[in-house]
Amino acid sequence: MLKRAEEIFDQLVAWRRDFHAHPELGFQETCTAAQVAEVVEGLGYRVCTGVGRTGVVAERGEGSPIVAIRADMDALPIHEANDVPYASRVPGVMHACGHDAHTAIALGVATLLAAEEFPGTVRFLFQPSEERGDEEGISGAPRMVEDGAMEGVDAALALHVRANLPVGDISVEAGPVSAGVDTFRAAILGQGGHGAYPHLLVDPIYIAGHVILALNGIVSRRLSPTVPAVVSIGAIHGGSACNVIPERVEITGTIRFMSQAVREQIYAEIARAFEMARTMGGDFELEIEPGGLPMVNDAAVVGLIRQVAADLLGSEHVLEQEVTMGAEDFGVFSALAPGAMFRLGCRIEGDERKGHNPRFDIDERCLPIGAAILTEAALRLLKGGGKKQESRGRN
Question: Sheet harboring 318-319: ordered strands across?
Answer: 46-51, 55-62, 120-127, 66-72, 155-166, 339-347, 170-171, 318-319
Cis peptide before 246 (omega within 30 of 0): no
Q: Cα separation of 49 and 41, whole Å?
A: 11
Q: Cα separation of 81 and 100, whole Å?
A: 17
What is residue 108's predicted lDDT score, i.e. its pLDDT? 98
Task: Indicate the length of the chain as a whole number.
Answer: 395
- Which is higher by pLDDT, 220 or 137? 220
What is residue 352's predicted lDDT score, i.e. its pLDDT? 80
Pairing of strands 175-189, 324-327: parallel
pLDDT at 155 over 60: yes
| 75, 352 Cβ separation under 8 angstroms | no
Where does residue 111 rank: exposed (0-12), middle (13-18), buried (19+ CB within 10 A)?
buried
What is residue 141's predicted lDDT score, i.e. its pLDDT? 97
- Which is higher by pLDDT, 391 or 175? 175
Per CATH, domain 2-174+298-383 is 3.40.50.1820 = no
Q: Cα separation of 362 and 368, whole Å?
A: 13
What is residue 137's predicted lDDT score, i.e. its pLDDT? 86
In the chain, what are the domain boundaries?
2-174+298-383, 180-289
Mean pLDDT of the region 76-101: 98
- Give the model's confidence band at 80: pLDDT under 50 very low, under 70 low, under 90 confident, else very high: very high
- Give the model's confidence band at 387: pLDDT under 50 very low, under 70 low, under 90 confident, else very high: low
Per CATH, 2-174+298-383 and 180-289 having the same topology is answered no
What is residue 237's predicted lDDT score, i.e. its pLDDT? 98
What is residue 395's predicted lDDT score, i.e. its pLDDT? 35
What is the SS3 assignment for the chain? Answer: CHHHHHHCHHHHHHHHHHHHHCCCCCCCCHHHHHHHHHHHHHCCCEEEEEECCCEEEEEEEECCCEEEEEEECCCECCCCCCCCCCCCCCCCCECCCCHHHHHHHHHHHHHHHHCCCCCEEEEEEEECCCCCCCCCCCCHHHHHHHCCCCCCCCEEEEEEEEEEEECCCEECCCEEEEEEEEEEEEEEECECEECCCHHHCECHHHHHHHHHHHHHCHHHHHCCCCCCEEEEEEEEEECCCCCEECCEEEEEEEEEECCHHHHHHHHHHHHHHHHHHHHCCCEEEEEEECCCCCEEECHHHHHHHHHHHHHHHCHHHEECCCCEEEECCHHHHHCCCCEEEEEEEEECCCCCCCCCCCCCCCCCCHHHHHHHHHHHHHHHHHHCCCCCCCCCCCC
- Give the model's confidence band at 111: pLDDT under 50 very low, under 70 low, under 90 confident, else very high: very high
Segment 13-31, tens digit of pLDDT: 999 999 999 999 999 999 9
What is residue 32's predicted lDDT score, i.e. its pLDDT? 98
- Give the model's confidence band at 99: pLDDT under 50 very low, under 70 low, under 90 confident, else very high: very high
Q: Is 376 a catalytic residue?
A: no
Segment 199-244, tens digit of pLDDT: 999 999 999 999 999 999 999 999 999 999 999 999 999 999 999 9
pLDDT at 337 over 50: yes
Segment 166-206, tens digit of pLDDT: 999 999 999 999 999 999 999 999 999 999 999 999 999 99
- 221-225, Cβ contacts within 8 angstroms, sequence gap of 24 or more: 222/265, 222/269, 223/262, 223/265, 223/266, 223/269
Q: Cα separation of 359 and 371, whole Å?
A: 24
Of 247, 252, 248, give the one whose Cα is nearest residue 236: 252
Q: Cα separation of 376 and 37, whole Å?
A: 23
> Of 29, 74, 182, 363, which one is the catalytic site residue?
74
Of 351, 324, 337, 393, give the one whose Cα is nearest residue 179: 324
What is residue 35's predicted lDDT score, i.e. its pLDDT? 98
pLDDT at 390 over 50: no
pLDDT at 394 over 50: no
Mean pLDDT of the region 74-102: 98
How much is the mean pLDDT over the chain? 96
Per CATH, domain 180-289 is 3.30.70.360 = yes
> Of 130, 269, 361, 363, which one is the catalytic site residue?
130
What is residue 259's predicted lDDT score, i.e. its pLDDT? 94
Phi and psi angles of residue 153, each rounded to the nearest 5 degrees, phi first: -70, 135
Q: Cα separation of 63 and 68, whole Å?
A: 13
What is residue 361's predicted lDDT score, i.e. its pLDDT? 98
Mean pLDDT of the region 69-81: 98
Q: Is 74 a catalytic residue?
A: yes
| 188, 245 Cβ separation under 8 angstroms | no
Q: Cα separation of 95 and 226, whole Å?
A: 35
pLDDT at 376 over 70: yes
Instruction: Encode burial over 221-244: b for 16+ CB neighbours within 10 A, e otherwise.
Output: ebbeeeebbbbebeeeebeeeeee
Mean pLDDT of the region 292-314: 97
